[in-house]
Structure formats: C-alpha cells, structure tokens
A and B are shown apart, each in its own frame.
Chain A
Amino acid sequence: MAKFQPPPVEESVSPNLIPMIDIMFLLLLFFMLGADMSQRELEEVTLPQADMVQADSNTQTGDLTTVNVHHRTDHGFKCAVADGGGVCRDESHWLMAIRGKDYTRDTLNMQLQVEATLSVEPVADPKTGKQLSARMVMIRADQNAPYGLVQKVIEACSFANIYKIQVGAAKPPKA
C-alpha cells in the first residue's frame, strides 16, 4: 500500500506585528517619561525620612544652591562601617559637594561666598546693616552623615551672609 503523502502546502506565517509595536511604543513612552535622565545637581544620598516634609516645589534652580553631604563612593575607596550598613563617623570619609564638585570646609566657605554674591537682597538688614544674600541653600545630607558636617555647612552659609536655608528630607513610602 502506497503511503499517503499530503500535498506540499506553502505556508505563509506572517504574524501581525502592529499590535506588538503599539504595545512596545506604549512601554517605551512609559519608561522614557518615567526615567530620570536629567543631569541634576544632586548626589546619590539616602535622605532622612520625615512625614511632615513639604513637597519640594522648587522647580526653578536659579536662586538655589544645593549642598550635598555624602559619603565617599569614589572608585577603590573602602569604608568597612558604611559598606556594612553602619553609621560612619569618620569625617574624612564624608564630602560636601555642590553641582558634582567636592569641597573641603575652607573651599566650601569660599564657594558659598561666591554663590552668595550671585543674588543679594536689595535692602540692607536694618538691624545689622549687613547686605544679606537672597540666595537659598538646600542642604541634602545623607541620613547617616554626622550632624557636625551639617553644622559646618550652616556655619559656612552664615559666614557668607546666606540665611535662607532649606533642609532636604524624603517622604516615607506610603504603607
């Protein structure tokens, strides 16, 4: 008995790619809009959490200087305490940065004095006669940073006649 052989069928498998493209476009749009690609003047710091913090509506950065107090993360640098998730209290391991540039205590004083002159209040303070700066300084310190470092930044602001200081904190995630 001769084997039954079906006639060769020429199959054309051409799936409809359009719905897939539609979905991929949507995914792409979502990830593009959600991605935070802007070159911010913010370092990677874990901010302390506070539920009473005001939402940051400062979208204009014209009159704002952000001072980041962060732990050293440069290549090859090791800190057993910080790497283990502990609180590093060695001040030499911490850096103060403005727009990605690190400063020491002395250079921070100088830099803040430069920043202070960028925006000056039109009228001198009637009590002290000082020309105060209208510049705002946001201190974004890591939650584990020693308070002494934040004090240094506040002190440097005061010496530069900057009095408008903001402290950065993070909203705790909703339960």
Chain B
Amino acid sequence: MAGSQDPNENPVAINVVPMVDVIFCLCVFFMCSFKFKQLEGKFDSWLPRNKGVGGIADPSTLIEEIRVAMFWDAQNERAVRQLGQRRVDTDQELQQLLKEAHDDYVRLNKPDVPVTIDADARIPWREVVNVVNICKRDQIDKIEFAFGAPPGH
C-alpha cells in the first residue's frame, strides 16, 4: 500500500486528504462508542417439570433437601445465611458444609437431593447467586428456589 506522493513518480495521484478526514471521523466515533463487552454467562436452573410454584408438599412425606436459609439483617444491611440450624458466616465454611451434606446424601445413594435456597425477598440478588456459585463449586447441580405457600394454604 505504501507508495510515494510525488505526482512525478505516479501520474495517477489521488488526493487522500478527504479520505484521511473521513477515517479520522470514523475512528473518533468508534473510539468514543467503544466499550469492552462484559463476559456474560449463565446458570441453568430448570424448574421441576412436575411441581410448579403452586404445588404444596404433602406434609406426610419427608422432604429430603439441603436447605440454605437467607435472612436479611436490616440493622447491619447484610444477609445472614443458615444451613439447617447452623449460622454460616463465610463462603468457605458454607462450601465445606454443603460439600459434607451433599457427600452424606451421595453415600446414602441419593445424589439427587437438591440444595434449596430459601431467601428473604429483600436480599440482593448477588447474595443468592453467590450461594448458587458455591453449590456449583461443590459440583451440586440440583439447586431449587423455595417459594412461600400461596394464600389459603
């Protein structure tokens, strides 16, 4: 592409200045509108096909699940997590406890026992996703979200 601008050398010399102007304008436009794309991903969380939100568990059946309860501490503006009756403060502790609980069910030949996240509606979404992420780190794929019973139940 490189070549001389001397018209004596190249009799078909074109004026490149307007083209440079246009390219400058385009460059400025794209530079101003440039934004690095955030790498996005997804967690699959299929809803149970045969349950639905309105499905209330039969009280006579024993529910087998690993339940992570999340409460909102309005005073300190933070989420409080509880696994069973035990309060869990750190992510590492939660990961360890979830792994132990899941491994117990695997030993009982029940690897499909889900982790149920029962979170307060005021809790920021990132806290819930954090728990989902911790479950995925432990290779727990079956994660369910708990819903309150509809009125009248």
What is the CA–CA distance of A144 and B41 in the complex, to the nearest angstrom?
A: 18
B93 to chain A, nearest CB (A): 18
The answer on a CB contact under 8 Å between B46 and A163 is yes
Chain A minimum-CB-distance residue to B120: A147
B contact residues around A148 at 8 Å (CB) = 121-122
What is the CA–CA distance of A133 and B77 in the complex, to the nearest angstrom?
A: 39
Residue A169 at the B interface, CB < 8 A? yes
Tell me which of A48, A154, A162, A166 contacts B129 (CB under 8 A).
A48
Residue B124 at the A interface, CB < 8 A? yes
What is the CA–CA distance of A31 and B45 in the complex, to the nearest angstrom?
A: 36
Residue A22 at the B interface, CB < 8 A? yes
Q: What's the tally of chain B residues with a CB closer than 8 Å to chain A?
A: 56
A80 to chain B, nearest CB (A): 15
B contact residues around A128 at 8 Å (CB) = 49-50, 52
Chain B minimum-CB-distance residue to A55: B41
A contact residues around B108 at 8 Å (CB) = none
The answer on a CB contact under 8 Å between B23 and A25 is yes
A contact residues around B136 at 8 Å (CB) = 50, 52
Residues of chain A at the chain B interface (Cβ within 8 Å): 14-22, 24-25, 27-28, 31-32, 34-37, 47-56, 58, 69, 87, 89, 125, 127-128, 132, 138, 141-151, 154-155, 157-159, 162-171
Pick the 5 closest A-B CB pairs, nearest first: A148-B121, A53-B41, A31-B30, A48-B126, A52-B136
Q: Can you name 8 A-B residue pairings with CB atoms under 8 Å?
A: A24-B23, A35-B30, A52-B133, A87-B77, A87-B124, A147-B124, A154-B145, A155-B147
